[in-house]
Amino acid sequence: MTIYPAIDIRGGKCVRLKQGRYDDITIFSDDPVKMALQFQNAGAKYLHVVDLDAARGDSDNREIISRIAKELSIPVQTGGGIRTMDDIEEVLGFGISRVILGTSAVKDPEMVRKAVKRYGNSIAVGIDARNGFVAIEGWEKTSELKAVDHARNMEALGVQTIIYTDIATDGMLAGPNILAMSEMVKKVKMDVIASGGVASLKDIRRLKEVGVAGVIVGKAIYTGDVDLRKALEIV
């Protein structure tokens, strides 16, 4: 299992949201590149970066994401506002190892098929669920598509990795939705990376037992609730 320290970028700063709400934001660092290097130095094997501005369609932080990819020697996956084949090509051109398609995967499955055919496992799909249904457009809208059904659709298109986020737990430090993660792992053969709510080393152990391929840890690292080095030892 892989631990993915998370860097969410909003207005060029490293931030965290509560339950995906843009009006409930905490700034943890003015320098996302420096933060990324700290995670690498702590022993992280992979980094997770989200462009919150691009996810909303406000602007983007691709220049910073490009710098992160160039500065780090470990692989980086990133999502947020990647909506076209040109976007995918641009971001992978930074040296990013894996791009995450979110809203675009719901609205344009044919693009996912083309992307997977061209880029293989460099394409992942982010499935962000609110009460079991897929949220889109920076989590500000909820679709009528069930998360598990969407995952199966993506698997049929050749997607090998999904990032599954339970919005209700995200940024709350109240523990992950173990039941939802367990159900997803059982329903698909893809690698499932769990995201949302991790607040302790115990949570990481529980997710490992469920069988997820990876765990994204964000706020808990910044607050000190999870020691990254100890989390890496567990896996």
Is 8 marked active-site?
Answer: yes
Provide the Cα torsion 151, 219, 80, 209; round to 10°: -20
H helices of 76-169, in order, are 85-93, 103-107, 109-119, 147-156
Active-site position among 51, 60, 87, 128: 128
d(CA 49, CA 120): 20
Is 60 marked active-site?
Answer: no
Angstrom distances, CA of residue 133 to CA of 35, 66, 123, 161? 32, 32, 22, 19
Q: How many CB atoms lie within 10 A of CB 48?
A: 27
Active-site position among 8, 53, 60, 87: 8
Provide the Cα torsion 218, 224, 226, 227; round to 10°: 110
Catalytic site residues?
A: 8, 128
